[in-house]
Structure 1
Amino acid sequence: MKPRDRDRPGPGPRTESRTTTGNGSGRRGFSMSGSSAGSSPTNRKPRGAPDLERSGRAGPVSGNAAGGPSEIHRVAPYGANQRVDAYLSRYLTQHSRSEWQRLIETGIVTLNGALSRPSARLSEGDRIEIRPVATFSMLTPDPSIILEVVYEDSSIVIINKPAGLVVHPAPGHQTGTLVHALLARFPELQDPTGSQRPGIIHRLDKDTSGLMVVGKTVEAITVVQEAMQKSEVVKRYRLLLLGNIEEDQAVIDVPIGRDPANRQRMAAHANGRTAKTEFTVLDRLDGYTYVEATLSSGRTHQLRVHFAYIHHPVAGDRTYGSGRGPAGLNRQFVHSCELILVSPATKEHLRLTSVLPDDLDIVLQNLRNEERPAETDLAPQLYSAPSEEYAPTLSQSSDVN
């Protein structure tokens, strides 16, 4: 009898099934219900694919799992030395290879009871477990949204976000977001677990324009987020503030937390999370100060909260200021102008810049055409944390000059 070629599909690995209960220690938490990632009544196995056998044994899974079958695959001899993602996409075709990669990276698929990488090589008898995946509706890509990509490699994408574009789906903004545009341009970002924020590493407010980095893989997202936590990623912004700041340079080192009086707002708070903003005055105008700010942390609304705390709220900000601004300003004057980071894939040191968009540039030039106050040359100032448990930010009705 002619021996079977090792690369030719054989009778398939032995496959077990077990009911999932409880929570485990996966890399991410998901609300899981419905059908298993490894089986679907609408998908037929390809010729030569592994046969599925079920034993009904129970055990814990990673993530927040609801009851449901978990498939256990035993790797046959012909699967030896194959990448785990290639093996799964070849024999279990209900997911593409990129989708299997995300399921592996998020801990839905494990190898020999442990988290793995898509590139891991298999050995005969290895145990692949596929946990249940929630039956979320997938996001629909929207190619009509214009997306300006300023840099791309195999790990990250850096875009220049326009003002008025919400980053990801949220109540009141279920469609027409940056994520929908990203999925149209980069379909591999679609997350088979139904994530509403695929690729998102950090956010910009709806009315903030400028540079923003997106991760193509779970590994890249983790690497960049860890670099941000270590202050190894430089993020610079241009802002127009109400009033005239006397110092040429200053540091605002004030914790930020949820506003106890309004949970939809943030506030300077002694018990909040550490937040530090450094800024340099670029220009002093009639009733306004134009600054460049650098973040060494990334708290929600950090710049807007910090500048409101020192009584110089962002021009046009209706949440932490009065909303007052120069003629022609129709949004908050905040622009992400520079990103400096290391690419997780190429290890190249990247420095990306974005010029001020036309709507903000026109406002600034109109102010500069007016008479300016005399320049000052003062030493840098340090703004300390609030001494009380809670230091309220400016109310919406306040008007600071």
Structure 2
Amino acid sequence: MQTHHDWITTPLTDELLRGALELEHTEHGVLPHRLPARARVQCTDPQLAVVESQPSGVRLVFRTRATAVELDALPTKRAYVGAPPRPDGLYDLVVDGVLTDRASVPTGNTVTIDMTDGSTRYRAGAPGTVTFSGLPAGPKTVEIWLPHNETTELLALRTDAPVEPAPAPDRRVWLHHGSSISHGSDAAGPTGIWPALAASLGGVELINLGLGGSALLDPFTARAMRDTRADLISVKIGINLVNHDVMRLRAFTPAVHGFLDTLRDGHPTTPLLVISPILCPIHEDTPGPSAPDFDEITEGRLRFRALGGPQDGTPGKLTLRVIREELSRVVAQRAADDPHLHYLDGRALYGTPESTTLPLSDDLHPDARTHRHIGERFAELAFTADGPFAP
């Protein structure tokens, strides 16, 4: 039996969005961005354009008495030649801090990628609607976490009772930057990415600048972070520099200093945590680049392998072991004059013990269980009384 609702449509504005740095008005509605336009124009890399527009950590947040909510959206999905279809992105409904429902939009645009030559093919599609019903009566805070792995244009928000922006949170804002692991890789859903889990456990408000394949010490990312209000900042540095093979040790050290200098220009005394890479056996002592191995792609399994050689004759090539040693040294040097700067070895989040019990499914990215482990471990190390983000 169908239930009739007297729908109220609420404009989608900045006041309802958290976790995005900018809201672009499009032909269809609004598109959340995790990097501002002034940053986006400085890099024409299609990879960055895709991942910064995927709203990892971005959510609609509002107060309402509504018991039913509808959200019209136009997602852009990715497909890979020769591989089974990817699952549709998830929209997580959180009511008063509790995950209560999930839904997806099966329609939308599709970008098909041929990983053998990098070519892409675009197909326009129709928008769709996610519907959440049976919400508890009475006033409540409703959050709709957008898919962390699908570019998502928001078209309309409808409810069966009025909506107002939720009051500004009275908790600290945590600004985090990292690679696809921080972006969400193979997490179960948008509230299951490790930074979202850690933020929930730590009682903080998340802004996630995890940018899949794009944690490359880019100056425009540092400036975006410099200009973003934050009470806590962390940067997870390393894996993308190795698997893209974009620099040598000579360039790496000054780039780290420059990135941290820029952050300190806007946040001179904010607790700042530098996190080195988690354990990734294929790159511990073998330089990049890394590349997909297509042997099992028709069965839906994609793996990665390191193409560099341990002794390839190139001085200063980066491995994860080299990066950890240098990051530790740089942070120790700077911390002599910066008591709010801290270092965390990523192997404390995922190391040798975890690689046995929770192996990286494609040799590069953590799965849903591993995201939960990393999130819980980070909260334990960072947000407790002895951690760098202690209350």
Q: Please report the TM-score for the alignment, with normalisation by the length of structure 2.
A: 0.25
Q: Considering Cα pairs closer than 8 Å and 6+ residues apart, tell me whether 1 or 2 has the greater RCO.
A: 2
Write 1 or 2 for the structure with the bigger share of helix.
2
Larger-Rg structure:
1
Q: Please report the TM-score for the alignment, with normalisation by the length of structure 1.
A: 0.25
